Amino acid sequence: MCGIVAYIGKREAYPILIKGLSRLEYRGYDSAGVAMIDKKGDLNVYKRKGKVSELISFVKDKDTTGNVGIGHTRWATHGEPNDVNSHPHYSQSKNLVMIHNGIIENYATIKEGLTKRGHTFLSQTDTEVLIHLIEDIQQHEGIKMGHAVQAALKQVIGAYALVVLDKNDPDTIVAAKKGSPMVIGIGSDDFFIASDASPIIEYTKNVVYLDDEQVAIIRRGQELKIRNLKDKEITPYVQKLTVELESIEKGGYDHFMLKEIYEQPRSVLDSMRGRLQADLGEVRMGGIVDHEKKFEKAKRILFIACGTSWHAALVAEYLFEEFARVPVEVEYASEFRYRNPVIYEDDIVIAISQSGETADTLAAVELAKSRGATVLGICNVVGSSIARATHGGSYTHAGPEIGVASTKAFTAQVTVLTLMALHMGKVRGTLTESRFRQLLYEMEAIPSKIEEVLKLNDKLREIAYTYKDSRNALYLGRGVSFPVALEGALKLKEISYIHAEGYPAAEMKHGPIALIDEEMPVFVIATKGANYEKVVSNIQEVKARKGKVTAVVTSGDKEVKAMADYVIEIPETDEFLVPLIAVIPLQLLSYHVAVMRGCNVDQPRNLAKSVTVE
């Protein structure tokens, strides 16, 4: 959740840290802080509650010199957001400082023991306890910082990505990870450490992704050294970043979210590129080729995911059952991992995560693997933990998504899942050749149809103005459009703080219809398809109770237009591909409502982009 950045080399560290924290702020923005060792050998720590801009204002008249430093932007877990709980945290002697992403579950026990040994603590955080423990071990055992970090981490339970700086050893940084992401950039004469590649790509394309329980010893002017907690030396595996700097900038848009909504024609196309060839009647999924026999014989598919990715999995449930005729179950990863699920060795488990670092999903992956299932991953981040932990899978190629509320990641996930369902249908012989080819041509047309929907932005802004002061909203859909209703409701409540719920339209009469009055906005996906007449009846039920209806309809629809307050016409497509198009206007509506309400669209309160803690 939190963002980590560090630098050691010949450049001034502070500008690199601040720029890096600004790029990582989507991971948490409760507070921010930096620590640098200046040329006199003094360790300067500056931290403040609030966003990175607050920190910049605070340090503008202070000494920020030095060629080594660490920085942190926080999403609070232990301890409320305030100056004291902000990172970096000192050790007892104030010779060591540390930044940390994750949760140390047994910190209270460790803290009790350290308190008995004379340690005093200033904050409520688990992080301060850990840096005290590292120093305690270092002092009592007379060992170097790297070995002290290894020894301390053997005692902790939980997740961490951490970086430690020692005032008495300004030429060394120690970093470690377990369950939280960490990447090390290797420059010509310097090193960059971060939670993801965004603070690094401006300086180098050569990176090393740390694996769990690995500790990196990073010394100025020397080669990178990596050891595991058993003190076995690991040869660093250097990879090349493919991300470009322009992809993490706003590019003239007011918000990252709006930019990412408008990037969807490209991100959907990129997610199909090289995989779909309609003219040849082929779908090629490189990451699952080795598992085709499993797909052919699979008796059940389990999807595990959280949040927006869970909604993408719900869409996939309809697609896989329709195209491949295989039973599908969709599980919240956070629930799946804490019960005793029934998993068979011939199950296929598909984990979906934009970041590839979602803690609950990663734990569910490990559980499924331990039961012998074939586990595949759908991720957007190359080299992420889930991508490395699964037996195979596919990247979505959505590009970096900075806005906390996911948009293009959702459509990219649905695109890849649709291709997987089509591929599985072809392998299992459950799709006729004509139906298969028809769907491929329909898929090829999706990017241009999304472009058509984006042209409705001005109209959607006008509709949003009508609902900007609403306190509640209902979203309705049937069949494969029901998950779109859920996703539309999630987007509205995430960024505008309006309470919203998604329901299957037929379920409205089983409870939610009691909420309908002239103040209740109801958004309905009412495109042409097998359930169209049923949805029309549901709209009539809402209008009979004076509800305000905004309907997403197929272009040219007249029946719904005659009864709805507003209609949003989208291009016609196969009903099983509607989610890829129908979600776009719901994203834009949510965006405009949030802007009109003065909300921070890219960084909604209490949220963070990558949920790497439970």
Task: Catalogue the active-site residues.
Answer: 2, 609
CB of 75 closer than 8 Å to CB of 604: no
CB of 410 closer than 8 Å to CB of 583: yes
Helix orientation angle between 433-454 and 408-428, rounded to the nearest 10 degrees: 170
d(CA 330, CA 85): 38
**Lookup: tokens for 553:** 């309809």
Alpha-carbon separation of residue 381 from 168, 195, 353, 384, 449 (angstroms)? 37, 12, 9, 6, 26
Alpha-carbon separation of residue 370 from 290, 363, 373, 389, 391 (angstroms)? 20, 11, 8, 12, 12
Using CA atoms in the order 402, 408, 410, 414, what is the torsion angle rounded to 10 degrees?
-150
**Lookup: tokens for 561:** 């237009």
d(CA 546, CA 98): 58
**Lookup: tokens for 402:** 């900075």
Spatial CA neighbour of 197 closest among 24, 77, 348, 56: 24
DSSP 252-269: T-SSHHHHHHHTHHHHHH
d(CA 379, CA 222): 34
Helix orientation angle between 578-596 and 433-454, rounded to the nearest 10 degrees: 20
Alpha-carbon separation of residue 494 from 304, 308, 404, 500 (angstroms)? 21, 11, 9, 9
Q: How buried is residue 15: exposed, middle or buried, by Cβ count under 10 Å (0-12/13-18/19+)?
A: exposed
**Lookup: tokens for 366:** 């490990």
**Lookup: tokens for 463:** 């509709």
Alpha-carbon separation of residue 157 from 101, 109, 295 (angstroms)? 14, 11, 37
* Block residue for tokens 């369950």: 179
**Lookup: tokens for 274:** 């090289």
CB of 160 closer than 8 Å to CB of 101: yes
d(CA 396, CA 378): 7
SS (H, E, C) 65-125: CCCEEEEEEECCCCCCCCCCCCCCEECCCCCEEEEEECCECCHHHHHHHHHHCCCCCCCCC
Spatial CA neighbour of 608 closest among 196, 229, 247: 196
Helices and strands per DSSP (H, E), number in the chain: 18, 27
Q: What SS3 state is found at 456?
A: coil
d(CA 86, CA 89): 7
- CA 229 to chain centroid: 28
The 8-class DSSP code of residue 537 comes to: H
